């Protein structure tokens, strides 16, 4: 089984719909991250969490919210999806040293 | 503030050529990690290497080698005798070690195309 699991892997949704992307990990790491990848822009940080009670905005948090339900689970929500949120989304974990990040397989989201 | 710059957006070379991907980073911290990841067309992120700020030894792994120079804040990646399977997007990333405010920052990536 993968250390970091993202669901769904692919999703097509309509403008204005609410959608949740889920991430779970078996690494026992405190830190979890959500990134968005757009062509030519690399991975940009949306939100990150250093433990269950510590959630922080990244560089592009507008239009997104997150929930850290447990150490192992970190969900990303789009309250009202819009087409420019079409992207590849990655969840990642790391330990407190930040010495290595483990990534999920990615969720390809299309908003039509 | 932390920043990673990969100035080369796209590189295209003929198979068997050597190619170097550049990475320049910025941080005020003295302890940090640098990484390279590969993203093949299938989309997943594949970890290639990690280097901490106190270890400036260059590393070689098969056809891959990495040159870390703190004096120029660079962590460049060279592929020797490139192959078509090396075609991918490559990301350089930075993480400040142990900081309560640290997060992993990525460069914008370099798309490498190896032509047969």
pLDDT in tens, B35-48: 999 999 999 999 99
Chain mean position to CA A94: 14
Mutate to test the interface with B, among A54, A89, A99 (most CBs of B within 10 A): A99
Residue with tokens 């060279």: B78
**How would residue A109 be classed by pLDDT, with cut points 50, 70 and 90?**
very high
- Cross-chain Cβ contact B91/A41 below 8 Å: no
| Range B50-76 average pLDDT | 91
Residue B102's pLDDT is what?
Answer: 66
| Per-residue pLDDT reduced to its tens digit, B70-86 | 999 999 999 999 999 99
The per-residue pLDDT for A37 is 95
Which residues in chain B are closer than 8 Å to A74, comparing Cβ atoms? none
Residue B52 and residue B65 in contact, taking contact as beta carbons nearer than 8 Å: no
Q: CA-CA-CA-CA torsion for A38, A44, A45, A46, nearest 10 degrees? A: -40
A58 vs B103: CB contact, 8 Å cut-off?
yes
Q: Which residues of B fall within a CB distance of 8 Å from A90?
A: 45
- CA distance to partner chain A, nearest, from residue B97 (Å): 5
Q: Are B7 and B110 in contact (CB under 8 A)?
A: no
- Cα distances (Å, whole numbers) of residue A91 to A23, A45, A46: 6, 10, 10
| Per-residue pLDDT band at B22 (split at 50, 70, 90) | very high
- Residue A98 pLDDT: 75
Q: What are the tens digits of pLDDT across the range A78-90?
A: 999 999 999 999 9
pLDDT at B98: 57
Distance from CA of B32 to the nearest CA of A (A): 8
């Amino acid at each position: 089984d993968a250390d970091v699991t993202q669901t769904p892997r692919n999703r097509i949704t309509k403008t204005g719909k609410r959608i949740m992307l889920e991430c779970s990990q078996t690494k026992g790491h405190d830190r979890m991250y959500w990134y968005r990848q757009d062509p030519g822009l690399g991975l940009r940080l949306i939100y990150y969490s250093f433990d269950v009670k510590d959630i922080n905005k990244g560089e592009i948090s507008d239009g997104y919210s997150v929930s850290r339900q447990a150490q192992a689970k970190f969900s990303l929500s789009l309250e009202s999806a819009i087409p420019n949120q079409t992207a590849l989304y990655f969840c990642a974990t790391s330990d407190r040293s930040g010495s290595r990040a483990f990534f999920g397989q990615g969720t390809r989201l299309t908003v039509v | 503030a932390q920043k990673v710059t990969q100035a080369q957006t796209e590189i295209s070379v003929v198979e068997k050529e050597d190619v170097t991907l550049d990475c320049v980073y910025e941080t005020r911290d003295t302890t940090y990690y640098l990484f390279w990841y590969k993203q093949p067309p299938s989309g997943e992120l594949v970890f290639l290497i990690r280097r901490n700020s106190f270890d400036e030894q260059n590393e070689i792994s098969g056809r891959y080698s990495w040159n870390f120079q703190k004096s120029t804040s660079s962590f460049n990646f060279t592929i020797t005798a490139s192959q078509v399977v090396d075609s991918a997007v490559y990301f350089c990333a930075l993480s400040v070690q142990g900081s309560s405010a640290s997060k992993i920052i990525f460069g914008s990536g370099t798309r490498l195309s190896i032509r047969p």
